[in-house]
A = this chain, B = another copy of it.
Amino acid sequence: MKITGEMLIGASAVRGQDAVLQAIDPATGATLGPDFHGGGAAEVDRACVLAEQAFDPFRNTLPEQRAAFLERIADGIEALGDTLIERAHRESGLPLARLQGERGRTANQLRLFARVLRDGRWQQATWDSALPERTPPRPDLRMQNIALGPVAVFGASNFPLAFSVAGGDTASALAAGCPVVAKSHPAHLGTSELVGRVIQQAVADAGLPEGVFSLVLGAGNEIGTALVAHPAIQAVGFTGSRGGGLALTRVAQQRPQPIPVYAEMSSINPVFLMPAALAARGERIAAELIDSLVMGVGQFCTNPGLVIAIDSPALAAFRAAAVQALGGKPAGTMLTPGIHQAYQQGVARLGEINGLQRIGTGLAGTGPNQACAAMFETSAAQFIADHRMQAEVFGPSSVLVTCRDIDEMTALTRSLEGQLTATVHADAGDHAAARQLLPVLERKAGRVLFNGYPTGVEVSYAMVHGGPFPATSDARTTSVGAAAIARFLRPVCYQNVPGELLPPALRDDNPLGLWRLRDGELTRA
């Protein structure tokens, strides 16, 4: 498959007239061909009008048809083979093995939503029987979830496959029955086009209306703003910076008809080290934590940017081991020159804060856009007093905070902003303290994990990749895992609707074989 630099508007490939963008190899700083021709509001409008036209037929396909469509996309992505992996590698600087793994995750994610569609619980089919003898009589009431409408998807820089054009937002929106208009991430324009063409082909092969998928690209913020402001768009999926997410949220709120924005934005993912765990295995935790910190050059939403420990002799040993491990970690190429620059500035800002000392540094880089890991240290009192210490620095930088005791640790935790994850290292002797901390962690994070590391997000039924603001713009949801489909659904009640006009999920004879809530009881009959 050839990369042409065009946008994909429905079934067409369209050469934009508004700007020329170029992909950059962050490892060399070189530009990668071809030129990408960006569009503007006109192309956004065309894509959104097609999406609107596709919406009713697409949402009314049977779940099985959409399941097969998602599997077709997964197959198509795998069939791109090395073409995709090599392009993504050159555009992102991410290692080939990591990208192969991410491709597998992307395909698995599409296949998970195919299973979710076949299973059918997402429809939440509910049926309260008529009670004609009651005073007043109760009508026949049936409820199902339906698709919200066309969805705008803004992918992440750091997952060019799993959180981009065919990533979790697209997969869950398509599963729900929502057409998708995606915007190419400027950090991986060619990868976006390759994957976009796979989806475009899958739409055609499945005989779906062309507006089910479009891919636009453009310079600056205008195209994204136009997309979120377009009246056809009914929800937004976004993964990126806090500033970007808040800007799109404002656009969405200021529309004549406001729409929901699911923005996954900013998290420093505190890791709590309890005394017994530190005493038993502090040095191993240090080594593993530093591995987690520098993995992927720290470019994960779940990167452990904050380590909070209770003071003890074992903490000193942990600290020494962590600083030593960090010192041996090579620098790594970041995703883009912009991300590298922001990391350098973020580390410099932390270095200027009174009361925050730099205690560890990774090996210096040799090429362009290489980030060198950094570790800082402060006390709980100083951390609580200075909000700047909890600003996310995207990359391999972390702050170690020492607390006097569990009460100070709990107070510090209460002062934290919302997080995607909170990690606790605790042995049996720490459980009393952990029990005190847990209710606070539940309120601060979407995922609480024990004796592990926050990087690595499983795509499954029980996953929550979400959390209170500013981790996301909507703590009631997750952007990873089966429950992500709920973001793009809304319930509709059908009262005394004649049987032949009822949707399949709600017909008397349950033709989809769904689990349904019948008069308050779950049944598959």
A143 & B515 in contact (Cβ 8 Å cutoff): no
Judge whether A39 is part of the interface by a CB distance below 8 angstroms.
Answer: no
> Which chain A residues in 240-287 approach chain B with CB under 8 Å?
249, 253, 257-258, 260
In the complex, which residues of chain B have a beta carbon less than 8 angstroms from the beta carbon of A497? 448-450
Q: Which of B128, B442, B478, B498 contacts A460 (CB 8 A)?
A: B128
Q: Which of B143, B258, B450 contacts A495 (CB 8 A)?
A: B450
Judge whether A349 is part of the interface by a CB distance below 8 angstroms.
Answer: no
| Minimal beta-carbon separation of A476 from chain B (angstroms) | 5
Encode A473-502 as 1/0 by CB contact (under 8 A) with B.
111111000110000011111111110110
Complex: A497 Cα to B447 Cα, angstroms: 11
In the complex, which residues of chain B have a beta carbon less than 8 angstroms from the beta carbon of A478? 491, 493
10 nearest CB pairs, A to B: A449-B495, A464-B493, A143-B462, A141-B462, A447-B493, A126-B462, A128-B460, A128-B462, A475-B490, A464-B491
Complex: A456 Cα to B134 Cα, angstroms: 14
B520 & A119 in contact (Cβ 8 Å cutoff): yes
Judge whether A469 is part of the interface by a CB distance below 8 angstroms.
Answer: yes
Judge whether A517 is part of the interface by a CB distance below 8 angstroms.
Answer: yes
| A-B residue pairs in contact (CB < 8 Å), sample of 26 | A115-B520, A124-B483, A126-B462, A141-B463, A146-B442, A148-B475, A257-B469, A257-B470, A258-B469, A260-B474, A431-B498, A435-B501, A438-B501, A446-B490, A446-B491, A449-B495, A449-B496, A450-B495, A450-B497, A450-B501, A451-B496, A452-B495, A461-B517, A466-B490, A468-B490, A475-B490
Q: Give the residue name and chain of the B residue nearest to A424 (CB).
A: B497
> How many residues of chain A get a CB closer than 8 Å to chain B's CBs?
77
Measured CB to CB, the residues of A under 8 A from B are 56, 60, 115, 119, 121, 124, 126-128, 136, 138-139, 141-143, 146, 148-149, 249, 253, 257-258, 260, 418, 426, 428, 431, 434-435, 438-439, 442-443, 445-452, 456, 458, 460-464, 466, 468-470, 473-478, 482-483, 489-498, 500-501, 515, 517, 519-520, 522
B126 & A461 in contact (Cβ 8 Å cutoff): yes
Q: Give the residue name and chain of the B residue nearest to A57 (CB).
A: B439
| Minimal beta-carbon separation of A472 from chain B (angstroms) | 10
Complex: A266 Cα to B524 Cα, angstroms: 37
B492 & A476 in contact (Cβ 8 Å cutoff): no
Known contacts A460-B141, A468-B257, A476-B148; is-contact A447 B492 (Cβ 8 Å):
yes
